[in-house]
Amino acid sequence: MPSCTVCGKRLSIFELFRAAGIQRCGACEQRCGQLARYWSAKLDSAFAKHGISEAMERELYRQFQQARVPLELGKPIVQKMLYLREISRIRWGDITPMRVDIHLDTDEIAYFSMPATYYKPNKRLKEVPGRLVGTNKKCYFLSSTGKDSTTIDWNNVSKIDEKVLYIDPEATLTRRGGRPVRYSAVSLEVIHVTVSKGSGGGSYHVPDTLYTKTFMDTLVHFWKRQLVYNKEIATHGAVPEHVKAAVFRRDKGRCIQCGYKGPYIEYDHKIPRSKGGPNTVENIQLLCRMCNLQKGDRL
């Protein structure tokens, strides 16, 4: 007689017929299902409030391992957690620069590049395929045809929303260089960017609207100095308080690069800690968040 793959209990005939191929007893099936549903709801709640922390990730793995949650029940929850964890890291400002094949200013850093379709708000709705490239200063939409490219200045962005774009089945969308294309009723999830002035406003259809919106919001916060600090900054190797006080007095509480004075000031190591830089007054300077990101791990 087969046994339960979770607790080892021998399965009854009824359990074999009820869950053919699963090989779990009724009690384990119920317990694992409840745990999976509990964590699914907990992830949604935590993400809506503050984000998915590393501690929550460890706790999920611990409970799933302890309860021996089977793969078919646990995998969707783990995948959901990893996705929301990545979005949380972006929301907190934990983003990594990347290389792009377009010309940028010397102080400009690229953070994302993804395919996108721009629905240009015009007299007639126009569909423009291309890609979005986001930097610390701007967001570029690069048309695949070379025309209708546009640039969004983060300073001009007033709102970024996730919306559903309804395309009227009677409306005609035109492609540059091609014949008009008539669609049947279509609804698309898009990112809608509202700008106070300048170009780039409108709707963008992207592979993942939540991911793109979070990235855009974070870069806007960087530019406008509204970024909330990463909640998981490690305290290991923290700068001593007496050193912070001395550096703050010496630099007069201002970023030594741009002169910014406010809540988003950071203590930067001239010689990075990754390269052996000490926590001394001589090796530490005040930089704003933006200047510190631009400096990175360079000497």
Confidence of residue 185 (pLDDT cuts 50, 70, 90): low
Tell me what the mean pLDDT of segment 195-206 comes to. 90
Q: Are residues 218 and 136 in the same domain?
A: yes
| Percentage, residues of the chain above pLDDT 90 | 32
Residues in the chain: 299
Measured distance CA(30)–CA(261) in Å, rounded: 57
Give the model confidence (pLDDT) of 205-233 as tens digits. Answer: 999 999 999 999 999 988 877 654 343 33
Query: Of 48, 64, 92, which residue sits at a domain end?
Result: 92
Q: Are residues 277 and 245 in the same domain?
A: yes
Q: Are residues 162 and 219 in the same domain?
A: yes
Q: What is the pLDDT of residue 13?
A: 47
Give the model confidence (pLDDT) of 227-265 as tens digits. Answer: 543 433 333 356 787 888 899 999 999 989 988 887 668
Confidence of residue 94 (pLDDT cuts 50, 70, 90): confident
- Write out the two tokens for 46: 């935590």
Q: Are residues 46 and 140 in the same domain?
A: no
232 part of a folded domain? no
Q: What is the pLDDT of residue 9?
A: 59
Domain CATH for 126: 2.30.29.30
218 part of a folded domain? yes
The amino acid at 163: K
R_g (Cα) of the chain, nearest Å: 25
Q: What is the pLDDT of residue 231?
A: 38
Measured distance CA(133)–CA(110) in Å, rounded: 7
Confidence of residue 135 (pLDDT cuts 50, 70, 90): very high
Q: What is the pLDDT of residue 239?
A: 77
Domain CATH for 253: 1.10.30.50
SS3 225: coil
127 part of a folded domain? yes
Q: Are residues 214 and 245 in the same domain?
A: no
The amino acid at 33: G
Q: What is the pLDDT of residue 237?
A: 52
Q: What is the pLDDT of residue 85?
A: 92
The boundaries of the domain holding residue 34 are 26-92
Most confident of 130-134, 262-266, 277-281: 130-134
3 part of a folded domain? no
Confidence of residue 24 (pLDDT cuts 50, 70, 90): low
83 vs 260, higher pLDDT: 83
Q: Are residues 47 and 134 in the same domain?
A: no
Q: Are residues 156 and 250 in the same domain?
A: no
Q: Are residues 188 and 267 in the same domain?
A: no
Question: Does the pLDDT at position 266 exceed 60?
Answer: yes
159 part of a folded domain? yes
| Percentage, residues of the chain above pLDDT 70 | 77
Handedness of CA 86, 92, 98, 103 (dihedral sign): positive
- Write out the two tokens for 34: 């409840």
Name the region of 138 (left: φ>0; alpha: ψ -120 to 50; beta: rest): beta
Q: What is the pLDDT of residue 180?
A: 60
84 vs 125, higher pLDDT: 84
Question: Does the pLDDT at position 12 exceed 80?
Answer: no
Measured distance CA(145)–CA(122) in Å, rounded: 18
Q: Are residues 67 and 121 in the same domain?
A: no
Q: Are residues 288 and 220 in the same domain?
A: no
> Which of 159, 148, 150 minimizes the C-alpha distance to 196?
159
Q: For the chain, first and last CA: distance in Å?
A: 68
166 to 32, 74, 116, 213, 227: CA distances (angstroms): 40, 36, 17, 19, 33
Q: Are residues 82 and 117 in the same domain?
A: no
Mean residue pLDDT of the chain comes to: 80
Number of domains making up the chain:
3
